[in-house]
Amino acid sequence: METLGEAPRGEPLESQRQRGILHVDMDAFFVAVEQRERPELRGRRVIVGFPAERSVVLSASYEARAFGIRSAMPMSAALRQCPDAIVVEPRHRLYYAVSAQLMGIFRDFTDLVEPLSVDEAFLDVSGAVRRLGAPERIAAMVKERIRDELGITASVGVAATKFVAKIASARSKPDGLLVIRPERTIEFLHSLPVGALWGIGGKTREVLARFGIHTVEDLAHTPESTLKRVLGASGLHARQLSWGIDARPVTPVRLEKSLGAEETFAVDVWDDGDLHRELLRLAHRVAGRLRAGGLAAGTVALKLRYSDFSTLSRSHTLSVPTDSAQQLYSAARTLLAGLGPRPLAVRLIGIRGERLAASAGSPRQLSLDRSEDNWRTAEQALDRVSEKFGSGALRPARLLAAPDPPEPRPREDD
């Protein structure tokens, strides 16, 4: 028999006391890196993205967010809401290089680091408490190193579980540190609106509201039978979370599974030359990110979306993993040719490197043709110039005729 108000059985509170989970989330990461490189942008309304019709906002400064600007918003809508915003084109190589430094800082504190994207991660610092002090002290040290070494800021949530730590970091933005002690977890959760729980979006909130459930506390005191009827199996999980029960461990992830880039054309494209030019641009973007992350791709995948929104993909496994734009481009162009005559114009094209491996340990195909090493040397020089002066400062001659097109949307795995 169920008793209202009784917490469901789960992990004992005493075992949670031994855990110290940090959720570290960078503040407006892309914008922050740009402001670090260009101090004149600090305190300004800045948007990272391409100023084009089909582009979207990749990141916005807090000054721009005051006007309602958010990531993934159409750029046209963002500029209508904030017409004097400064739009900065993204430099993904630079962001991935800074991200690699960030993850290195995390791993100086603990081996248990679970990246969620380029700018956020969970850290389990339970094993470092005896050496470094309480989890909140470690969190403060992490924030200090990020500020001193990278010149940007982070918000950190500290709790006994991943779920609560992530909520805490969101509520400490920007540049904050919020600690939720195990014995105060339920009090903290029950003060929040029900939408704070994972998996409860706008439509679900409307359904719950019809049953008088508006807060996490309301849900926590709702019988399981009612939640099953309203939310199905996910209702039981939500109720567990409402009592602070989340036994998931921090799972270290060293390498990304894939890394790619794609572009939506302003006007649908038929011409092979335009598609090849775009493939070359994307290949350089992906290769730069691979090199910044110390990675190499064992498989190259091509994505194509036609004007009727039908989408197909093809992939090719390389004999040796690569971080070279020319090799990515060559493989993608071969895949495109293998599709044969196109039935419709192309709306979107993309390249993705898959089966990633650490490039430092990857073998390199021996060749009597020195052009392969020449390309690699040239691309490494391109990386250095782009990091200092921006992605448009130096590019292959074939790409000089046209400006960079807009990125369609931000992707955490890109």
- Is 119 annotated to bind ligand? yes
Active site residue 120: yes
Per-residue b or e along 315-334, where b marks 16 or more CB atoms closer than 10 Å to that residue's CB: eeebeebbbbbbbbbbbbbe
- β pairing state of 346-358 and 295-306: antiparallel
Q: Give rounded-to-5 percent helix, strand, coil for the chain.
A: 45, 20, 35
- How far apart CA 165 and CA 163 sit, in angstroms, is 6
Do 180 and 17 form a contact (C-beta atoms < 8 A)?
Answer: no
Q: Where do the domains of the chain lie?
A: 258-399
Q: Tokens 């791709």 label which residue?
A: 297
The DSSP 8-state label assigned to residue 339 in this structure reads T
Q: Could you tell me which residues are beta bridge partners of residue 155?
A: 25
Do 190 and 178 form a contact (C-beta atoms < 8 A)?
Answer: no
Active-site residue, from 63, 120, 256, 387 = 120
Do 281 and 274 form a contact (C-beta atoms < 8 A)?
Answer: no
Vertex 280, ends 277 and 282: CA angle to 5°?
A: 110
- pLDDT given at position 182: 92
Q: Count CA within 13 A, CB hemisphere, residue 36.
A: 21
Q: Count CA within 13 A, CB hemisphere, residue 364.
A: 11
- How far apart CA 384 and CA 394 sit, in angstroms, is 10
Q: Class for domain 258-399, per CATH?
A: alpha beta
- β pairing state of 154-159 and 177-179: parallel
- pLDDT given at position 395: 55
319 CB-near residues (< 8 Å, 6+ apart): 365
Radius of gyration of the chain (CA): 24
- pLDDT given at position 92: 85
User: Consecutive 10-residue runs of the chain (414 residues): their mean pLDDT?
Assistant: 41 56 97 97 95 84 95 91 94 90 95 91 94 95 97 97 95 95 94 90 89 94 90 85 91 76 90 94 91 86 93 89 91 92 92 80 40 55 58 55 44 37
Per-residue b or e along 382-397, where b marks 16 or more CB atoms closer than 10 Å to that residue's CB: bbeebbeebbeebbbe
- How far apart CA 118 and CA 134 sit, in angstroms, is 26
CB atoms within 10 A of CB 363: 10
Q: Count CA within 13 A, CB hemisphere, residue 397.
A: 0
Residue 267 token pair: 């006007």
**Peptide linkage before 223 cis (omega within 30 of 0):** no
Length of the chain in residues, anyone?
414
- How far apart CA 241 and CA 263 sit, in angstroms, is 38
- How far apart CA 297 and CA 330 sit, in angstroms, is 14
Strand order in the sheet with 46-48: 59-60, 46-48, 86-88
